[in-house]
Amino acid sequence: MKTVGYAAHSSDAEMVPYHFERRALRANDVAIEILYSGICHSDLHTVNGDWGPQPYPLVPGHEIVGRVLEVGPDVTKYKVGDHVGVGCMVDSCQACDQCDHGEEQYCRHGMTGTYGSPDRISGEITQGGYSKHIVVREEFVLRVPDGLDLSRAAPILCAGITTYSPLRTWNIGKGSRVGVIGLGGLGHMAVKLAVAMGAEVTVLSRSTKKEDEAKAIGAKGILASTDAEAMAKAKASMDLIIDTVPVKHDVTPYAPLLDVDGTLVIVGQVGPMSGFMSVPMIMGRRRVAGSLIGGIKETQEVLDFCAEHNIHPICEIIRPDQVNDAYEVMTKGDIAHRYVMDMSSLSVED
Ligand SMILES: [Zn+2]
Ligand SMILES: [Zn+2]
């Protein structure tokens, strides 16, 4: 299938239109016309080569919402016209213990990323959602429930599941006290989801500048990490802290905010942190953990949860030809929303 997307051809070049082929449908494949494609901070890190060399040309994008165009003969869950989503994975071994219990992101043989990964059968490099079409095996296609606004659903597939999974893993519910570091794409979803689960949520940020935004989505307020007095007063007041900061930083200043047995879970930055102090960990049996997206079953669960609770990411809709400008804004600072591309202006004929 002929398609078109926006591809990076090297780590220092802007993304440009790129014509390429999607594979012919296998028996268990679903072909999707992409309607909306979210822009994740990890797309930017990947195309910039921050996480190692990439197989260019590379079409990023793993927050995909679209419509089913065609299905292979063995597909049973979807039919032409269904609204569907694709997140960060498009395949896994489907046979190991992790895949068996629905945590394909921790597949013993490595999951296949939506872009930049070799396909398990053909070996060709997967290309992501900044494109008009995608072909994905049925098991990795999600259903977008009717209650969700299609134009604002895409970021749930990465920003949503990345924060939902730790909230579930650490049993957040009524009365839980949750801190969220950073109020960007991931952070604002963490706040909305934790609030919907019944938690009391505090945003942790360098300043209280975004206090109104935090309160508008249900947070109790902002605790400024630069305010030593306020930080000392908040000691041992949280059960879980979700750290969404995507750049190198030190988690030590936040650790004392955790109550005994509390956990700080890193979901934003991938790579070396800038320092680590064991004292607050030891003195309160506190933990530092990490978490990677969520399994397919849980991703369907967060889509359904968002529909049920009318939770939508805060999105700014742009055209695909504005992607480089969006990257520039994202590189400069933290924005409290997600860029989502409306793919309707992208045509295979151009
Ligand atoms: Zn992402
Ligand atoms: Zn597996």
In a domain, 350, yes or no: no
Residues 203 and 264 in one domain: yes
CATH number of the domain residue 215 falls in: 3.40.50.720
Please write the tens of the pLDDT for every residue from 57-83: 999 999 999 999 999 999 999 999 999
Question: For residue 15, how far is the Cα from the chain centroid?
Answer: 21
Residue 230 Cα to ligand 1 middle (Å): 32
In a domain, 174, yes or no: yes
Please write the tens of the pLDDT for every residue from 128-159: 999 999 999 999 999 999 999 999 999 999 99
Domain count, the chain: 2
Please write the tens of the pLDDT for every residue from 167-183: 999 999 999 999 999 99
Q: What is the pLDDT of residue 246?
A: 86
Q: Which ligand is nearest to the CA of 293?
A: 1
Range of the domain at 116: 2-155+313-345
Residues 136 and 169 in one domain: no
CA angle 231, 232, 235 (to 5 degrees): 90
Q: Which ligand is nearest to the CA of 92?
A: 2
Residues 173 and 212 in one domain: yes
Residues 165 and 187 in one domain: yes
Residues 109 and 45 in one domain: yes
Residues 150 and 191 in one domain: no
In a domain, 304, yes or no: no
Gyration radius of the chain over CA positions:
20
Residues 13 and 98 in one domain: yes
In a domain, 102, yes or no: yes
Q: Which ligand is nearest to the CA of 108?
A: 2
Q: What is the pLDDT of residue 62?
A: 98
Residues 23 and 151 in one domain: yes
Q: Between the CA of residue 91 and those of 34, 77, 106, what are the distances in Å?
A: 18, 16, 12
Residue 190 Cα to ligand 1 middle (Å): 14
Instruction: Count CB atoms within 10 A of the CB of residue 79.
Output: 10
In a domain, 296, yes or no: no
Prediction pTM value: 0.96
Residues 202 and 125 in one domain: no
In a domain, 164, yes or no: yes
Residue 195 Cα to ligand 2 middle (Å): 33
Q: What is the pLDDT of residue 339?
A: 96
Please write the tens of the pLDDT for every residue from 287-331: 999 999 999 999 999 999 999 999 999 999 999 999 999 999 998
Element (H, E) at 188: helix 185-196
Cross-strand bridge partners of residue 241: 179, 264
Q: Which ligand is nearest to the CA of 42?
A: 1
Cβ neighbors of 284 (< 8 A, separation 6 or more) are 236, 255, 256, 258, 259, 260, 261, 262
Q: Which ligand is nearest to the CA of 128?
A: 1
In a domain, 305, yes or no: no
CATH number of the domain residue 148 falls in: 3.90.180.10
Q: What is the pLDDT of residue 349?
A: 87
Give the C-alpha separation, 325 to 336, whole Å: 16
**Which of the four pLDDT bands, split at 50, 70 and 90, describes residue 334?**
low
Mean pLDDT of all residues belonging to the chain = 96
Nearest to 160 by CA among 261, 35, 311, 4: 311
- Per DSSP bridges, beta strands 16-21 and 2-7 are antiparallel
Give the C-alpha separation, 284 to 85, whole Å: 41
